[in-house]
Structure 1
Amino acid sequence: MTQHSHDYHIEIPGTTVFDGRMAMKGYALNKMCYDFNRAENREGFKADPEGWMEAYGLREEQRQAIRDNDILRMIEEGGNIYYLAKLAGIFKLSVQDVGGMQTGRTREEFQAFLASQA
């Protein structure tokens, strides 16, 4: 995972900070994912993902991350996890799957970790 240098007082290993720069970088990707709140848009994307990515003006790096079903790379490309959750659902991934990816755990390991924190 690519780490970016920021002027923040704390660095969290493995974390991509979503700030103004990342919001601008991921605007088109997040806008597309927001539209997946409507079931017909999710179905339209499944039928023609390339057409949807073209229509929203996604950059090639974002498109390739989507083709690869690589949620972590989508985050690196400016994707906001709250918007990406709908796209992850299209790929049959839960938020716990993504949490596992972010922490280097399987979904089951991540679920056990969450349960241990209660």
Structure 2
Amino acid sequence: MALDKPYLDVPGTTIFDAEQSRKGYWLNQFCMSLMKAENRERFKANERAYLDEWPMTEEQKQGVLTRDLNRCMAAGGNIYFLAKIGATDGKSFQQMAGSMTGMTEEEYRNMMIKGGRSVEGNRYIGEDGDAQAHRQPQGSAHQKA
């Protein structure tokens, strides 16, 4: 029996749950391999050859090769594991996050300093314009009517 996943109703959000974990197991294992200097060097010397040593899907491999972290997350990647790719490339987590939002590092930093993204467009898909009236108290699960 499939589990109820009310969090799938949040637009633009990929939740790393048990299903995503299974889907991205080898992608995340590849990322963890980059913690060793010799593996980072092998990866940088021939990215495709190194990726082909892992039983990842072609979608996962293309996500890594193009550094499309959103694509990697959709394919089961966990952002904390994916950060190893950015570190291998000499990128900060802030630079990586900016790339995922379509912003420059400076734009992303300024947005976060100002309090983050607006709630507009970031509500549950099933909610109408009066989001506050439909919100559950903090800490409780969102329930569909």
Q: TM-score, normalised on structure 2?
A: 0.69
SS at match of 2:34: helix
Match of 1:13 among 11, 14, 28: 11
Q: Secondary structure of the equivalent of 1:84?
A: helix
Q: How far apart, CA to CA, are the structure 1 residues paired with 2:10 and 2:113?
A: 22
* Counterpart residue identity of residue 44, structure 1: R
Contiguous gaps of at least 5 residues in structure 2: 116-145
Deviations 1:10-32 (A, max 9, x none): 74332111111110110001001
Once superposed, which parts of structure 1, at least 4 consecutive aligned residues long, lie more than 6 Å away? none
Deviations 1:41-68 (A, max 9, x none): 1111111212221211111001111221
User: In terms of Rg, which structure is larger?
Assistant: 2
Q: Percent identity?
A: 38
Q: CA RMSD in A?
A: 2.0
Native 8 Å contact 2:34 2:88 kept in 1? no
- Output aligned runs, 1:54-65, within 5 Å: 54-65=52-63
Closer/same/farther in 2, CA of residues 29 and 111 from structure 1, 3 Å limit: same
Q: TM-score, normalised by structure 1?
A: 0.83
Gaps of at least 5 residues in structure 1 are: 1-5
Which one-letter code corresponds to 2:36 in the other structure?
R
